Amino acid sequence: TVDALREIVDWEHGLVAPAIHFDEEVYRVEAERVFDRAWLVVGHEDMVRKPGDYITNYMGEVPVIVVRDAQGEIRVLVNKCSHRGNQVCLFDRGNVKGFTCSYHGWSFGLDGALTGAPMEQMLYRGELDKAAWGLEPVAQVVNFHGLLFATFDRSAPAFESWLDADARWWLENFVLSTPLGGLEMLPGWHRYRSPGNWKLVCENFIGDDYHVYSATHVSWLAMIQDFMEQGVRIPIITYPGTTDGPMYEGSAGGNGRGAPMGMGMVVADNDSLFKRDLAEAQELGPEAVDWVEYRREKLLELAQGRPVKPYSFMNGLVYPNMALMGFFSPMLGRHFQMFHPRGPVEHECWQWTMVERDAPQVVKDLAVQRVYQGQHGAGVIAPDDVENFERMVEAGKPARSWRRPFHYGLQLGHEDEGPKGLPGNLGPNPSEVNQRQFYRFWLEMMERS
Ligand code: FES
Ligand code: FE
């Protein structure tokens, strides 16, 4: 199947066969060629502020510990005891002086070095080569405005070239909000398992706005409409997803210049969102109004000299598996979602919530409420997606149906019909240009032996 990938992933014609979402062999090879090679997000520096602070996460299916060592350096270590493979860290997060394995009691420092073994002198007679038996570190770690990326691949392209300049511009300005003081990560995170290959969810977040307005989320949109018509400010439900102005869909790093890093996104360019934010801010008080106005000015500065003035970035995906969500408005928290593979037909969704660091508390509180009650496992949006995935898995599991390709042809041939003058390549929204790019990147990595 892997040899035949080119036949079943014809991204140029918008055709992708379901085999890549179900086949065990593809899944096995993908672990080596995608997850063992890519730069993957593993956390945020806010999660590990002090020496000894740690979180646990996954790179593909490999459990890792992200920890700040005594010298203040952030390390990413495989969470697997070098003695016999037990996990040495059993919790999601905390602060420790080191890690002690619960099987035979070997202990490791914050830098991963083996520091001792029970009854070491008596049993190992001074012959245990401790320097050789530390925890395995990942090959490279980078802190990008607080977001921590890691790769297992010693020969992976440098992070600066993995992340091309276009993708960097969007990430810095609209995702991480660096001109606005950056983001604040809220403690803890939320996670759930769902049916569906990890790529199915990723292609959903990279730009499938089609499903939002056409079918899956219409009940949510109708509910919001009702609230608005009744003049009820929407206290608990995620901000309306529709805009009066134009929206564009595009990819940075995916515009044919061969950059290895793909980032799909949906961009909104209009005044109506700003006006809506302002109206809401007026209800929240003068501090909120000041923030919304200040924010608008900063964004206009950024757009100076450009024909299009982007106000927000709605959703996107940093290839391969970190989704970005909720960037319409400062009244929305940002969600960073990781889709960890768990076998060909299941994934685990991890969701972190972030707010704009310098926003007033009333704005942050509203944003957080909306994250938790919207695109969340128990919110009013995500369960509708999960239901679709469940049925797709049931229908797609029988191998007889793996080769008839699915249709990814929305706006095929119209990819360049968006505005010029902004980084990346913007086309119309909704479209499937980002999904096509996603499978192009995936195929490139899978074909590199
Ligand atoms: Fe960890 Fe034996 S497996 S000490
Ligand atoms: Fe959805």
Q: How confident is the model at residue 246 (pLDDT cuts 50, 70, 90)?
A: low
Give, in order, the Cα–Cα distances in Å from 389 to each of 113, 151, 168, 203, 267.
43, 29, 31, 12, 26
Q: Which of the residue ranges 70-79, 172-181, 192-201 would you say has the lowest mean pLDDT?
A: 172-181
Strands in 136-255 per DSSP E? 140-144, 147-151, 183-185, 190-195, 247-252
* Average pLDDT of span 130-150: 97
Cβ–ligand 1 contact at 86 (below 6 Å) = yes
Q: What is the pLDDT at residue 233?
A: 62
Q: What is the pLDDT at residue 39?
A: 94
Cβ–ligand 1 contact at 83 (below 6 Å) = yes
Domains of the chain: 40-141 (2.102.10.10), 164-447 (3.90.380.10)
pLDDT for 39-66, tens place per residue?
Answer: 999 999 999 999 999 999 999 999 999 9
Residue 231 has pLDDT above 80, yes or no: no
Q: How confident is the model at residue 230 (pLDDT cuts 50, 70, 90)?
A: confident
Residue 360 token pair: 């007033």
Residue 194 has pLDDT above 50, yes or no: yes
Q: Which residue bears the tokens 């096509």?
A: 436
Q: Looking at beta carbons, which pairs linking 360-364 to residues 24 or more positions away fall under 8 Å?
A: 360/284, 360/285, 360/287, 360/288, 360/290, 360/291, 362/284, 362/285, 362/287, 362/288, 363/281, 363/284, 363/288, 363/291, 363/330, 363/331, 364/184, 364/333
Report the percent of the chain where pLDDT is more than 70.
Answer: 94
Neighbours of ion ligand 2 (CB under 5 A): 385
ipTM of the complex in this document: 0.98
Residue 240 has pLDDT above 50, yes or no: no
Edge-to-edge strands of the sheet including 107-108? 99-100, 107-108, 114-116
Residue 254 has pLDDT above 60, yes or no: no
In terms of Cα–Cα distance, which of 223, 262, 236 is closest to 376?
236
Q: Cis bond leading into 428, ω under 30°? A: no
Query: How remote is the CA of residue 107 from the centroid of ligand 1, in Å?
Result: 9
Q: What is the pLDDT at residue 262?
A: 67
Most informative mutation of 78, 81, 114 for ligand 1 (most atoms within 8 A of CB):
81
Mean residue pLDDT of the chain comes to 89
Q: Which of the residue ranges 70-79, 174-183, 367-376 would you say has the lowest mean pLDDT?
A: 367-376
Residue 375 has pLDDT above 60, yes or no: yes
Q: What is the pLDDT at residue 331?
A: 79
Residue 150 token pair: 């890691």
Task: Report CA Rg, the chain.
Answer: 23
Q: What is the pLDDT at residue 18?
A: 95
Helix, strand, or coil (residue 318): strand
In the chain, count H helices and then E strands: 13, 22
Q: How confident is the model at residue 372 (pLDDT cuts 50, 70, 90)?
A: confident
In terms of Cα–Cα distance, which of 88, 31, 24 is closest to 61?
31
Give, in order, the Cα–Cα distances in Å from 275 to each of 215, 224, 283, 292, 394.
28, 18, 13, 10, 44
Instruction: Identify the helix (H) or strand (E) that includes residue 392.
Output: helix 382-396
Report the percent of the chain where pLDDT is more than 90.
Answer: 57
Is the pLDDT higher at 407 or at 179?
407
Q: How confident is the model at residue 244 (pLDDT cuts 50, 70, 90)?
A: low
Q: What is the pLDDT at residue 243?
A: 55
* Average pLDDT of span 406-410: 96
Query: How remote is the CA of residue 100 from the centroid of ligand 1, in Å?
Result: 9
pLDDT for 295-341, tens place per residue?
Answer: 999 989 988 888 878 887 778 888 899 998 876 778 777 889 999 99
Residue pair 412/432 in contact (Cβ under 8 Å)? The answer is yes
Q: What is the pLDDT at residue 255?
A: 41
Q: Which of the residue ranges 16-30, 126-140, 265-279, 348-362 would you say has the lowest mean pLDDT?
A: 265-279
From the CA of 104, give the closest atom in ligand 1: 4
Cβ–ligand 1 contact at 103 (below 6 Å) = yes
Helix, strand, or coil (residue 329): coil
Cβ–ligand 1 contact at 102 (below 6 Å) = no
